[in-house]
Copies of this chain bind each other. A is one copy, B any other.
């Protein structure tokens, strides 16, 4: 069994701290060996992706020290006990099984008397079969007409991941004749969210999916009622228009209000749930079960890489260690995720939840306070848009923000235009390459306002094309990265106690039992 230890008890961490500031990337990437470095510091990922880290502040010595920390902190052993079914989610005393939704990395995991791999596979298949019956016109509306749209009602992990994945593939699917049903999403308890989405739907031909593991998420239940009201007003029968994705023990599981229900369990955290029915139902309805399976297969292939003991054959572990180095050795407080792909427009929002909700903790996995910093702030927007926006601060601001680029050799849709001798895709790729170098090397100028200090580290994940498999690999890469970083900091990346207090206080306000400042604020808002 691995030994769960705080970061500041590790000898290898002391070694690493002495390497702070060792690597000058401006020098490394402008010297005679610069091209060789770029060619060397790139690691294959699944689904024809690769992870390039030549513009990160590492060299062979730092990498070796990071590898030593991975060993001392037993990162791979911890992954192993996780996928073999240990209760790694200590705060909630739960197994952590999202990888098992897409493949089996170790032993059979039997919990609550059930083989969990078989259970997850069965639920994925049920989603695919249900979707096929909808597409084939076997499941129809009151008028016997086909459903043409799907709308997911969920919040947090029941929204951000599936929404980001849908947006990532929507236009690829449309261009390739794979779009079976357009998808929409309702998440916010703001009534304007549901109202606006409903205005854009053809209600009579829309299938709604209620997504809540517990079946008690206030926003989702409220929006579910909102939608049911709207359906009834149109003379439609909600029970013929709604399905549920939930746990088998939840109030939604056996309700007559739903046409069918698909199941996850307590071992799938919300922000890790895109591989479960939370993603399977909506994405199978939108694109078909075969496309969803390609996503899962891409993710499973990436998961297998995360087992590799050789750091340079394990891009998830490597990315985790470099990110940890930037946070805990260099001391950078934030990280930007910058996909050069409009299709990944909402992927940074998913990663923001994944990372900040997992590792934004001040206690270790045993509930003991920590004296070092954990997860950074994560934010990002697609390039080239960001270049004309917040990149100014990234280039010339007073803080260094490490960067995580994502780029593809080919566009998804394949429609392009040549202007000034280059395609838009070439311009897009030229820009991301240019940015990497501009951030790393900067440029001296006698006019300080035009001077670029450089020394701003970045990595880039490079893909052939944003396909379902590549998307799955990306999803798994970041899940595994965050998991390894949680192991390094010795936090529990799978609970989220920080969301509870707000819920309790909101209930107080709604029940009218507040006083003091809470009451005064409520009066300001005229609640």
Contacts and interface: CB of A to CB of B under 8 A. Distances in A.
Contacts of A411: 190-192, 195
Given A174-B199, A398-B374, A417 B518 contact: no
Interface string A33-64: 01111110010000000101010000000000
26 contacts: A34-B520, A35-B517, A36-B520, A38-B520, A38-B521, A170-B196, A171-B196, A191-B413, A192-B412, A194-B415, A196-B413, A219-B384, A352-B389, A357-B392, A360-B396, A362-B448, A363-B448, A374-B398, A391-B498, A429-B525, A433-B506, A433-B518, A434-B503, A437-B518, A449-B495, A462-B524
A334 B377 contact: yes
B415 A191 contact: yes
Contacts of A381: 349, 352
Interface stretch (A102-110, A139-147, A276-284, A337-345): A337-345
Interface in A476-522: 492, 495-506, 508-510, 515-522
A499 B395 contact: yes
A403 interface: no
A138 interface: no
Interface string A272-304: 000000000000000000000000000000000
Given A375-B397, A527-B430, A498 B392 contact: yes
Interface stretch (A68-76, A121-129, A154-162, A241-249): A154-162
Given A34-B517, A189-B427, 19 more contacts: A155-B384, A175-B199, A190-B340, A190-B411, A193-B342, A195-B411, A356-B392, A356-B397, A360-B393, A363-B396, A367-B447, A367-B448, A392-B496, A394-B498, A422-B510, A437-B521, A443-B501, A450-B497, A460-B521
Contacts of A395: 360, 498-499, 501-502
A409 B522 CA distance: 10
**Which of A156, A421, A521, A527 neighbours the largest number of chain B CB atoms within 10 Å of its CB?**
A521
A257 to B, nearest CB: 14
B387 A517 contact: no
Interface stretch (A12-20, A78-86, A112-120, A222-230): A222-230
Interface in A323-363: 333-334, 340-343, 349, 352-353, 356-357, 359-363
A214 interface: no
A3 to B, nearest CB: 20
A480 B54 CA distance: 41
A428 interface: yes
A424 interface: yes
A431 interface: yes
A4 interface: no
Interface residues of A, number: 158
A255 interface: no
Contacts of A50: 524
A239 interface: no
Contacts of A271: 389
A479 B421 CA distance: 39
B155 A385 contact: yes
Interface string A159-200: 110000000001100110000000000011111111110010
A148 interface: no
Contacts of A194: 415, 424
Contacts of A526: 409, 429
B502 A434 contact: yes
A431 B189 contact: yes
A378 interface: yes
Nearest to A341: B190
A238 interface: no
A201 interface: no
B389 A156 contact: yes
Contacts of A315: none
Given A222-B417, A384-B155, A430-B527, A375 B360 contact: no
A433 B191 contact: no
